[in-house]
């Protein structure tokens, strides 16, 4: 790019001329200093450098981290990662070299940032999030970001979003709200993981997570207290019944006692809630992650048991009956992925009962086409929002708009492979999703999200609004 092309791209020639004219009008005693100060105020920051590296996530598996520079400073972001990737989500680019990190290295994604994305974005205005994201999408040229990697594109997109907020001298959550065209800022109800199972823990529980939602709290700060106290009461109960080894935790920080049934886990959680005295103020949610134990047309609830008898297979109808009874016996308000990712019919049938919020995870993969189908067919009524399944901040905002326009709930979600990046906390507030799932009130990579929400609530002061009873549709 020539000097003149650079000046033209950023309208600098016009701004220099304006600065000179202003100095003449002001009869500035030091025109050079006047022009310099005028330019600093009038010229927007641009992306000056992008540097990526490979770091490790909370599981010790490589992921991508990016430092994006403007004249305002350096802005860092890291891409989260799931334990498995779905057919319909954006492609996470890994090297595949079994001799390094068991094939999980991300040096190709890092190289794509340092050599291709960096060159395309240098000189761009970080406040223009849509243009930055579109530039990367155009550079990739695939429908699912397979060329550059969604992990590469997402890390840059988040870093640019942080830089854009700094350029506007506004909090990140407010900048995100501005990008979405929304004005309401809402502190989400946290869905704390308290018991882990499925592929996230070494016990025999088929369900992946049992969570608690402090919907009756008055503030996010109070919700954190409720969550922490319940978590520690649960630890004491598990120690009493299963010994201290039962308090080992899964990947999301939930306890993983040696239990095998949904009811056994739910009874433990209900007892912990009773001990806190919060009772009606705390509700229960489950992430069943049923895709993990679907075999053809049946569901194997003993899929993790070494002593499988083959007697615990359930049909889709059996699962509906089981969920219906559990919702009657326990204060369950939300069930995530109750059926296989391709079991649209049973998901639809259960959702239409209106018993609880039915959250699409594997079913949707945050994919706009699958979200639209689910909306049109009334298959579920909530979106699990995983930013890495989409790949850019702009597309995340569009997915949330699509869900909210259909009066769906939106659960901003972490991944099992997390980092110290707290971006999804600001995202949940800025997009007013009303719900955030970031794991247990335990482990640094989980708490960094919750602690950021505490800071945001404090910063907003009297303007802070906690979703509370309006958690589904704030």
Instruction: Please check the confidence at residue 40 and state whether its pLDDT lies above 90.
Output: no
Do 90 and 388 meet the contact criterion of CB atoms below 8 Å apart? Answer: yes
Are the C-beta atoms of residues 282 and 215 closer than 8 Å to each other?
Answer: yes
Residue 199 is a catalytic residue: no
- Sheet with 73-78: list strands edge to edge: 49-56, 62-70, 73-78
Tally the residues of the chain: 474
Give the start-to-end residue ranges of the domains of the chain: 3-42, 47-169, 180-470
Of residues 386, 404, 437, 449, which has the active-site annotation?
A: 386
Q: What pLDDT, on the 0 to 100 scale, is given for residue 1?
A: 56
Tokens of 8: 């033209």
- Select 47-169's CATH number: 3.30.390.10, 3.40.50.620, 3.40.640.10, 3.30.260.10: 3.30.390.10
Top-level class of domain 180-470: alpha beta
pLDDT tens by residue, 155-193: 999 999 999 999 999 999 999 999 999 889 999 999 999
Give catalytic status of residue 386 as yes or no.
yes
Report the run of H or E that residue 409 belongs to, with start and end.
strand 409-413
Q: Do domains 47-169 and 180-470 have the same CATH topology?
A: no
Which has more pLDDT, 462 or 296?
Answer: 462
361 annotated ligand-binding residue = yes
Catalytic residue among 140, 252, 362, 388: 252
Q: What interhelical angle do 393-405 and 172-180 show, nearest 10?
A: 60
Looking only at the bridges linking them, the beta strands covering 294-295 and 298-300 are antiparallel
pTM of the model: 0.90
Alpha-carbon distance 266 to 414, whole Å? 23
**Given the DSSP bridges, would you call strands 73-78 and 298-300 parallel, antiparallel or unpaired?**
unpaired
Q: Span 251-273, mean pLDDT?
A: 94
Residue 300 has pLDDT above 60, yes or no: yes
- Residues near 184 by beta carbon (within 8 Å), at least 6 away in sequence: 177, 432, 465, 474
CA-based nearest residue to 403, from 383, 378, 433: 383
Tell me whether residue 287 is annotated as binding: yes
Residue 153 sits at φ, ψ, to 5 deg, of -65, -45
CA distances from 120 to 13, 89, 131, 166 (A): 22, 24, 11, 21
**pLDDT tier at 9, thresholds 50, 70, 90:** low
Distance, CA of 412 to CA of 434 (rounded, Å)? 8
């Amino acid at each position: 790019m020539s000097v003149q092309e650079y000046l033209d791209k950023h309208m600098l020639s016009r701004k220099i001329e304006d600065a000179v004219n202003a100095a003449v009008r002001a009869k500035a005693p030091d025109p050079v200093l006047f022009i310099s100060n005028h330019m600093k105020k009038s010229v927007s920051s641009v992306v000056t450098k992008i540097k990526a590296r490979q770091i490790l996530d909370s599981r010790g598996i490589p992921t991508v981290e990016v430092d994006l520079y403007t004249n305002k400073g350096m802005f860092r972001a890291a891409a989260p990662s799931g334990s498995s990737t779905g057919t319909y989500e954006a492609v996470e680019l890994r090297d595949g070299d079994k001799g390094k990190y068991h094939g999980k290295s991300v040096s190709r994604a890092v190289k794509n940032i340092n050599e291709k994305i960096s060159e395309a974005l240098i000189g761009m205005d970080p406040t223009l999030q849509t243009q930055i994201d579109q530039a990367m999408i155009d550079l990739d040229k695939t429908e699912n970001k397979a060329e550059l990697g969604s992990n590469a594109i997402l890390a840059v997109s988040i870093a640019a979003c942080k830089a854009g907020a700094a350029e506007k001298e506004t909090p990140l959550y407010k900048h995100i709200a501005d990008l979405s065209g929304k004005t309401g800022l809402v502190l989400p109800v946290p869905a704390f993981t308290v018991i882990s199972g499925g592929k996230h823990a070494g016990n025999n529980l088929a369900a992946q997570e049992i969570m608690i939602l402090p919907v009756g709290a008055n503030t996010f700060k109070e919700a954190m207290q409720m969550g922490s106290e319940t978590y520690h009461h649960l630890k004491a109960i598990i120690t009493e019944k299963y010994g201290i080894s039962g308090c080992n935790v899964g990947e999301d920080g939930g306890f993983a006692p040696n239990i095998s049934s949904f009811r056994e886990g739910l009874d433990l959680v209900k007892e912990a809630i009773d001990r806190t005295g919060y009772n009606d103020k705390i509700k229960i949610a489950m992430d069943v992650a049923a895709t993990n134990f679907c075999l053809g047309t049946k569901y194997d609830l003993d899929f993790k048991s070494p002593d499988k008898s083959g007697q615990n297979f359930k049909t889709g109808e059996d699962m509906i009956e089981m969920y219906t009874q559990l919702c009657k016996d326990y204060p369950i308000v939300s069930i995530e992925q109750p059926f296989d990712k391709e079991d649209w019919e049973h998901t639809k049938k259960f959702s239409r009962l209106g018993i609880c919020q039915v959250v699409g995870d594997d079913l949707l993969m945050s994919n706009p086409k699958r979200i639209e189908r689910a909306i049109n067919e009334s298959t579920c009524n909530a979106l699990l929002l995983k930013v890495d399944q989409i790949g850019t901040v702009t597309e995340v905002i569009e997915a949330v708009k699509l869900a909210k326009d259909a009066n769906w709930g939106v659960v901003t979600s972490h991944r099992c492979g997390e980092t110290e990046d707290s971006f999804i906390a600001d995202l949940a507030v800025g997009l007013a999703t009303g719900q955030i799932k970031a794991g247990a009130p335990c482990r640094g990579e989980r708490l960094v999200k919750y602690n950021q929400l505490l800071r945001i609530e404090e910063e907003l002061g009297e303007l802070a609004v906690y979703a509370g009873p309006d958690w589904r549709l704030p």
